[in-house]
Amino acid sequence: MAPEQKKRARPAASGSQPSNKRQKIFPKQDPAATLPKRPVAVDALPWNEVEMPEMHDDAEGFFGLEEVEGVEIIREGGLVKFVTSAKVPDADYDEEFTGFDYDGPGKSIGFPKTKDSEPIDSVAKRGKQPTEVLADGCKTPHSEIKNAGKKEHSKKEKVKKKAKAEKWQEGSKETVFNVIKGLEEDAEEEIDVSAWSELDLASYTLTALSKIGFAKPTPIQSEAIPEILAGHDVVGKASTGSGKTLAFGIPILEKWLEINGELDEDELKKPRAPIALILSPTRELAHQLTEHIKALCSGLTAPYVAAVTGGLSVQKQQRQLRKADIIIGTPGRLWEVMSANTEVGESFKKIKFLVMDEADRLLTEGHFKEATEIIGALDRQTDANEDDDYIPTRQTLVFSATFHKGLQQKLAGKGKHGLMDDGESMEYLLKKLNFREDKPKFVDVNPISQMAEGLKEGLVECAGTEKDLYLYSLLLYHPNRRTLIFTNSIHSVRRLTPLLETLGLKAHALHSQMIQKARMRSIERFSSPKAPGSILVATDVAARGLDIGGINLVIHYHLPRAADMYVHRSGRTARADAQGSSILLCAPEEVVGMRRLVAKVHAQNAITGGGNNSKYYMRSLDMDRKVVQRLKPRVTLAKKIADSGIAKEKKGHDDDWIKNAAEELGVDYDSEEFDAAGGGKKGRGTGRKLKEKEARALTKGELGALKGELRALLSERVNVGVSERYLTSGTVDINELLKGAKGEFLGQVDGIGME
Ligand SMILES: Nc1ncnc2c1ncn2[C@@H]1O[C@H](COP(=O)(O)OP(=O)(O)OP(=O)(O)O)[C@@H](O)[C@H]1O
């Protein structure tokens, strides 16, 4: 079946003043429409749900937070009245549609919205506060009247929480998290968007792009958008930070405008089938995509963009889904929501776009099962698609910076290449994706290099046992840089973060076992413009998609387990035309893996020359070892101090766990006796346990002395004698490497710009 082709109007815009064309655009309503001031029922006020980023889901108390503008609270005796001159929505509205969520008494900070006609009894039965009808017709919950003091307190709490939310937003000024805010604040500063005119976009889209400040499309946007607008399935490949989100986000908005642009506001309020389903491998990325697309749509009353990523109740998400135009989620939670509700599942079948962002990750490892379940459910046989040749009407858009070689060749339709290890699953996957065209359009804007243009890569050779020392040295050589350190294990994140903090650096942790609130706090602090030198120690949970402004340096504390992970990790810096460095700490036992990795990542470059004059892609950086050794006493001391803290904390956890288990069994537990009984046993982990015991054994006094000693060391200046700073000689020659040349791979070479 040929893809649905619709004639598109030429763009009206050229220059900075995009003209209005085809759609009616409905600006957000001014809540303060002029009417005489009058008391209004609390539940009829135009409450706005305070949109919290998805990553705030378990941020205790944010649930259901709502705000309202232009309302005075007047107390008359024991009664509270809400007076406003604002136009209030018709009281008989659809509760679901307003986005109001009420989880029962005591849970919601906002007020339940009820239908005027609804008997008070039935409200009470659903768990809401009974209300008292005032002379003026205002319905006020009894608790409001009796607990005016409490209300005042909760108002203060609201203000505090709102301020906190705003602070968080401000903290990440340079990230897409904040584009929405920027769009509103800088509404006056429109820029020339004539460079977009080739893409034939709606005037609203051009205005939004102008307000966001994107003067021209990035290469992936220039190439992928026309193909998607023409109705094709697209597989898009472009380096990290090159604007892939809007490469699919803009056509989705265009389609939405095409379908709904003529609807009036009342019609827009009616539920409709969603237009797009976007799958993301991580919760943080899903949240970020949501904010990015919301930013594009923020001048419109709709489309409604919903994130479905866990943390909120499934019921709440199902309600949100009923009004959502664009749904962005992680496969696990999406599948849970879809499979639990047939109505939602059915409406998903009507989507016009299925997007797989970070597709290679989505279609492998832990997500594969749910992703294929979701696709299967979208295609599930109905009367309409009973025959075997069923072709979905939706377009499938698949994006990533990296694709498994076999998949890439297959998608590009380039001959019969031997598929790699999991070739079979790739083939299966291609079938599963169920493109509506025989062959999707393959858009590869960086066939030579997967790495961002402004990225410099380097590696530092050091013994495995000295990685902490070299890490610290590297950080000192790069002061005041926002640095992201990747490790391969949660344990390392837990160990390194306090170590760096003990050494006086501002380090934060991020891994999947942290509660969402703590994850959110780490990202907030790391991305704060007030802390340009902050450090984030993370597992690969932060490797894909995160768009945090100002990251100058990525350090791979461990060699990544796969080449694509190296590409994505390194891609957290040098985004959107910015510069950045990626440095790999390489122990002798990692050299073989590192050679393989470099060969994979830069293979095309080495074969073709890659348009790059230099044949060296990853420079081996020899740090001045004398300087590094001068830093050793600091690191040794800091390790003792940090390890002692970790061991004590761990002991506390272990004790609690054993105590609970002992209680369950009804036996007495004495930790000293327990240790003594187990102390004599030899076995796996005995050495580590002894070290932990030693670390725990440090008395308060001893710890204080160590801290004093470290303080003194940290206050000393370290001599980095200019002549000793860089020892230069060799380079990593990729061509030689690919030829299998032996030679010295790790040389002492010109640095990548240490200061
Ligand atoms: N046309 C444009 N002009 C300028 N900046 C842009 C443009 N399009 C997107 N950006 C910005 O570029 C940055 C990277 O975009 P995006 O996150 O979409 O990259 P990506 O290609 O998806 O990266 P990754 O592969 O790491 O997920 C974002 O901060 C985004 O706001």
Q: How confident is the model at residue 104 (pLDDT cuts 50, 70, 90)?
A: very low
Rounded to the nearest 10°, the torsion over CA 311, 313, 314, 319 is -120
Interval 686-724: pLDDT, tens: 666 777 777 777 888 889 999 999 999 988 877 665 433
| pLDDT attached to residue 234 | 93
Q: Count other C-beta atoms under 10 Å from residue 84's C-beta.
A: 21
Q: Which of 74-83, 255-264, 557-566, 591-600 has the lowest mean pLDDT?
A: 74-83
| pLDDT attached to residue 658 | 62
Which amino acid residue places its CA nearest to atom 7 of ligand 1?
A: 243
ipTM (interface predicted TM): 0.99
CA angle 76, 79, 83 (to 5 degrees): 70
What spacing in Å lies between the alpha carbon of 546 and ligand 1's midpoint? 10
Q: How confident is the model at residue 554 (pLDDT cuts 50, 70, 90)?
A: very high
pLDDT above 50 for 134: no
What spacing in Å lies between the alpha carbon of 667 and ligand 1's midpoint? 59
578 close to 412: Cβ distance less than 8 angstroms? no
pLDDT above 80 for 738: no
Which amino acid residue places its CA nearest to atom 1 of ligand 1?
A: 217
| pLDDT attached to residue 342 | 83
551 lines ligand 1 (CB under 6 A): no
Which amino acid residue places its CA nearest to atom 4 of ligand 1?
A: 214
Q: How confident is the model at residue 23 (pLDDT cuts 50, 70, 90)?
A: very low
- 237 - beta bridge partners? 400, 444
Interval 421-470: pLDDT, tens: 344 445 555 667 788 887 788 898 887 777 888 899 999 999 999 999 99
CA distances from 541 to 393, 537, 569 (A): 34, 11, 10
What spacing in Å lies between the alpha carbon of 244 and ligand 1's midpoint? 6
Interval 301-346: pLDDT, tens: 789 999 998 766 677 777 788 889 999 999 999 998 888 888 888 8
- Distance between CA 646 and CA 650 in Å, rounded? 6
188 close to 237: Cβ distance less than 8 angstroms? no
Q: What is the pTM of this model?
A: 0.68
What spacing in Å lies between the alpha carbon of 520 and ligand 1's midpoint? 21
Q: Which helix (H) or strand (E) holds 344?
A: helix 342-348
